[in-house]
């Protein structure tokens, strides 16, 4: 299993990307320029719809690339979790069996002393 350190950088970049999309500036040189955009109500800025579409596309690409890695981790840690639960169950059975033996020995010893 690869350490997740590389993934941390991807997730941090994804966070920064989304943060930067939220504060995206106007298009360079667009202020005061007459264009088809200004006639359609966009007024020389990137259309909020285009910005959000681009943000969603970038998120999807990054998350899609991470999906197989995260799926592998989920499978790996689920197996470890099951192994730990199984080991704990075996340990508890062993402890109950040992405690039962000790009780029987204690009772057996007490009965023989009284005879």
Nearest to 31 by CA among 45, 46, 49: 45
Tokens in use for 84? 């730990």
pLDDT tens sequence across 35-57: 444 455 555 566 888 888 999 99
Count of structural domains within the chain: 1
pLDDT tens sequence across 62-94: 999 899 999 999 999 999 999 998 998 889 988
Q: How many CB atoms lie within 10 A of CB 6?
A: 9
Q: What is the C-alpha separation between 66 and 12, in angstroms, rounded?
A: 13
Q: Where are the beta strands (DSSP E) in the chain?
A: none
Residue with more model confidence, 77 or 32:
77
Tell me the whole-structure pTM to 2 decimals: 0.54
Q: Is pLDDT above 80 for 97?
A: yes
Q: What is the C-alpha separation between 94 and 71, in angstroms, rounded?
A: 35
Range of the domain at 54: 5-114
Q: Is pLDDT above 70 for 2?
A: no
């Amino acid at each position: 299993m690869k350490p997740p350190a590389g993934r941390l950088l991807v997730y941090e970049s994804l966070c920064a990307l989304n943060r930067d999309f939220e504060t995206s500036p106007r298009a360079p040189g667009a202020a005061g320029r007459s264009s088809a955009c200004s006639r359609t109500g966009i007024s020389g800025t990137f259309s909020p719809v285009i910005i959000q579409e681009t943000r969603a596309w970038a998120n999807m690409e990054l998350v899609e690339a991470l999906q197989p890695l995260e799926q592998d981790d989920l499978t790996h840690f689920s197996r470890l979790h099951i192994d730990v639960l199984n080991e704990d169950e075996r340990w508890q059975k062993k402890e109950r069996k040992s405690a039962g033996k000790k009780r029987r020995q204690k009772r057996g010893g007490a009965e023989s002393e009284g005879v």
